[in-house]
Amino acid sequence: MLSEGLEHTLVDSGGYFVHLAVVLIPLFIGGSFLIGLAEEYLPPETVERKLRSHDEGAGNVLAAGFGAITPFCSCSTVPALAGLLRAGAPLGLAFSFLLASPLVNEIAVILLLGLFGLKVTVVYVLGTFTAAVVAGLVIGRLGLAEHVKDADGLTDTGGTVATDGGTATCGCASTTPVERTHRQRVKTAARGAWSFFVDTLPYLVLGLTIGALIHGAVPVEMTRTVLGPDNPVAVPLAALVGAPIYLSMSGMLPIAASLSEQGIAIGTVLAFVIGGAGVSIPNLVLLNKLFDRQLLLVYAGTVVAIGTAIGVLFNVVLV
């Protein structure tokens, strides 16, 4: 028979798993549907065409805006980025698009709203959007364009992302320009949302499981020792820890919710989310074909810096 302590832990973890699942799964499917609609009406090649003619400054704002409202998966974001660079768009403008796309997207916004409320969501969106614009402007001034590889091989936005370990199915909508009715587009977006949910379900379940175990099995004192206010490097540590354990935004946020439940400051939690969402394995695999190692490190370092800055903003200024 199970000991009383273990039984209590399993019951507590199981209850929290169900709670997170009930909150997050409907929000995730709804967010995926909105992404499908966005890609039906604003495909990657349209974004690429509109951004090509803009210079840095206002162009960075526009690029970050397109990155935010067109949350393409990696198999579309990076080829669109390659198309921009091949057409002569400034590297800084392209970086604003690249940074905003994973950090400010419908799934992130909807899940954050469901877990943490309106105020946190609004400040997160404004903060990450501004950071994408500013980071793009700074990177554009560093003279790193020579570190971009040949972009010709990445402009085909196919449906799979090849990795050393196999292939990852992409949930992007078709980019073939076909005239269709609004009803057909909505149906396509709905089918895509369900397909994307099924493909992502293992990662979502893994995130829910880790979050539930943190909530029920990990002592609060241990979590607060590592990520609590008494650790002066808790925020950058959270951003660094989040990066290599990427699960997708749907997998990261259940873990973030459990950390918040254990009393970890919201800024530290968001730094963890940003590190994981920005430095994703599919993104890095494709970016490795477009950027050399130095520029790849600049990208990853920029994401961690943004996570740290947003975390400090929440913990110091807004709390």
Number of compact structural domains in the chain: 1
pLDDT average, residue stretch 95-104: 86
As a whole-number percent, the residues of the chain with pLDDT over 90 amount to 11
How much is the pLDDT for 129? 94
How much is the pLDDT for 288? 83
How much is the pLDDT for 295? 92
For residue 252, what are the domain limits? 4-317
- Tell me the helices (H) and strands (E) count for the chain, helix number first: 14, 2
How much is the pLDDT for 96? 92
Average pLDDT score, the chain: 74
**pLDDT tens across 46-74, in order?**
665 666 666 677 888 988 888 777 654 55
- 71 vs 313: which has the higher pLDDT: 313
How much is the pLDDT for 241? 75
What is the C-alpha to C-alpha distance for residues 183 and 124, in angstroms, rounded to an integer?
33
**pLDDT tens across 185-230, in order?**
888 878 877 887 787 677 677 767 776 776 666 666 666 777 777 7
Confidence of residue 167 (pLDDT cuts 50, 70, 90): very low
CB 28 within 8 A of CB 111: yes
The pairs formed by 88-91 with CB atoms below 8 angstroms and a separation of 24 or more are 88/52, 89/51, 89/52, 89/54, 89/59, 90/55, 90/56, 90/59, 90/140, 91/139, 91/140, 91/144, 91/145, 91/148
- Top mean-pLDDT range of 14-23, 108-117, 296-305: 296-305
How much is the pLDDT for 248? 58
